Chains A and B, each alone.
Chain A
Amino acid sequence: MATPHLMIHIVPDKCDFCGCCVGVCPEDAIELKESEIAIIEERCTNCKKCVWACPWDVIEFHRDGINTLPKKLFAIDENQFSKSLSK
């Protein structure tokens, strides 16, 4: 059964959109377009199969749920980015 807290997080910008995770997902809980990927929260049971399947190790499992994760648009930390630019 889908659990109230999603624990699966695909790290933005690191995914290669290969579909290996989709192929093992028993719940049809991953939406994969040409260069977009998303977990369908209502379906995911946090079974971790996608985490194990990812060849590039870019799917994270967070026991406490992913809502606690800081929201970032890009994998690059923007502060870091602007610092390195102003150097």
Chain B
Amino acid sequence: MKSEYDIIVVGAGPAGSTAARYAAQKGASVLLLEKDRDVGYPVRCGEAVSHEGVAQFIEPDPKWIAGTITKMKFISPSNTSVTMPIDSNIGYVLERRIFDYELAKIAATNGAEVVTKAYVYDLIKNENGEAVGVKALIKDEKVEIKCKVVIAADGVESRVGKWAGIDTTCHIRDMESCAQVTVSGLNFEEDTLDLYFGKKVSPGGYLWVFPKGKTSANIGVGVTVEEAKKKSAILYLNEFLEKNYPNASILTRIAGGVPCAKPNKVLVKNRVMLVGDAGHQVNPISGGGIISGMIGGMLAAEVAADSIKNQNLKQLSEYETKFHSRLGWRHEVFASIKNAIWGISDETFDSLTLSTLELPMEKRTLAAIFRKALWNKPSMVLEVAKVFLK
């Protein structure tokens, strides 16, 4: 390890490893610091991604694909289910332990230096309050390492942005408090993602059964912290498991949080750039953040490397505009939709599901379901109009 780099990336999740990869590819010297002993472990994720999303970064490889998905099944509060093909035709349930590892390997192959058991606990700042390095505990030894730009990819627990003066606190209504188990020894429809909705199952979120092949699955639940005040995620999960899979063998049990908010308006300040969960780069409706974090990581890294090359760090703020026009605007619309359907009753959900069942399978796209829903429940038109007029 050197005492100075162009770019230090904090956190080796998908966003951080992708940032390190693209920054190194553009010729910057890059150090990637990860607090945990292993990259990729523990896995706090349902692990579902679309083929298109992942293939733009890496050739799909059976060694990190646990299952291939072609359908989604929505299960309504009254237990009516509707199955539809997924929009992009095919998706995967990953083996993130190996996937994340692979992404870090690619970063290293491109020239980034990766160090694990490296906990960043503060920034080094210059007289203008700009970050010019990080303070870290590496294998329990205090070290200071200098750099020109810090990329904060430190996940839902992000603190680096706060140290640079960016407000990254997630509102409790937007934070999904999650519990998940990975179970084995049962039978699952290996090509179908199951999503359960309703106030009893997962208020302000959903419960998922994502199959990892025929006999294993990630079963998890996310509830908004606003609701988790009254009853924690783990209790919702335990009830579901007792009712539906009482004999499951549980191989892994994790807690987690997903910031299902609008992406942070400020993504760059004082030479710190936020990527991934750290910048709330998550689809606020689905809670998917693997691909959007990787997109954020790539865009930030390219801008950072160019700014350093041009010796003009004012250019760093271009990343905010780039992220917004690529993805941020969509997440803002999704966040508004989420807020509009926030109070949707279990009855409305049931009637939506029933009306979708009248559509033939091949016509069940999200757009068609939306149209159908509007037809059956005109008051929703108003809600949606409000969303788009904002």
Contacts and interface: CB of A to CB of B under 8 A. Distances in A.
A65 B169 CA distance: 25
B36 interface: yes
A26 B175 CA distance: 13
A78 interface: no
Interface residues of B, number: 35
Given A18-B257, A20-B256, A33-B119, A55 B179 contact: yes
Contacts of B156: 18-20, 22-23
B254 A18 contact: yes
B228 interface: yes
A52 B254 contact: no
A86 to B, nearest CB: 31
B348 to A, nearest CB: 27
A52 B257 CA distance: 12
- Of B37, B232, B254, chain A has the most CB atoms within 10 Å of the CB of B232
Nearest to B177: A55
Interface stretch (B157-165, B188-196, B328-336): B157-165
A13 to B, nearest CB: 14
Contact of A55 (B35, B119, B137, B228): B228
Interface string A7-49: 0000000001011111111101001111000000000000001
Given A18-B254, A55-B257, A57-B234, A25 B175 contact: no
Contact of A25 (B163, B169, B228, B259): B169
A20 B229 contact: no
A66 interface: no
Contact of B172 (A16, A49, A55): A49
A45 B233 CA distance: 24
A34 B119 CA distance: 8
A18 B255 contact: yes
Contacts of A28: 159, 162-163
B255 A54 contact: yes
B169 A26 contact: yes
A19 B256 CA distance: 7
Contact of A19 (B117, B121, B157, B179): B157
B316 interface: no
A73 to B, nearest CB: 20
A49 B232 contact: no
Contact of B234 (A26, A31, A49, A55): A55
Contacts of B225: 24, 49, 52-53
Contacts of A21: 257
B35 A34 contact: yes
B112 interface: no
A33 B154 CA distance: 12
A56 B169 contact: no
B178 interface: yes
Interface in B153-187: 155-159, 162-163, 169-172, 175, 177-179
A31 B154 CA distance: 13
Nearest to B254: A16
Nearest to B221: A55
A40 B117 CA distance: 22
Sort A-B residue pairs by CB-CB distance and give the 7 closest, nearest first: A19-B157, A20-B257, A22-B157, A55-B233, A18-B255, A55-B255, A16-B255
27 contacts: A18-B156, A18-B157, A18-B256, A18-B257, A20-B175, A20-B178, A20-B256, A20-B257, A22-B156, A22-B157, A22-B159, A23-B170, A23-B257, A23-B259, A24-B169, A24-B257, A28-B163, A49-B172, A52-B172, A52-B177, A52-B229, A53-B257, A54-B177, A55-B178, A55-B228, A56-B255, A57-B235
Given A23-B169, A52-B177, A55-B234, 18 more contacts: A16-B255, A18-B254, A19-B156, A19-B256, A20-B177, A20-B255, A22-B157, A23-B158, A24-B170, A24-B171, A34-B36, A49-B172, A52-B228, A53-B172, A55-B179, A55-B233, A56-B179, A56-B234
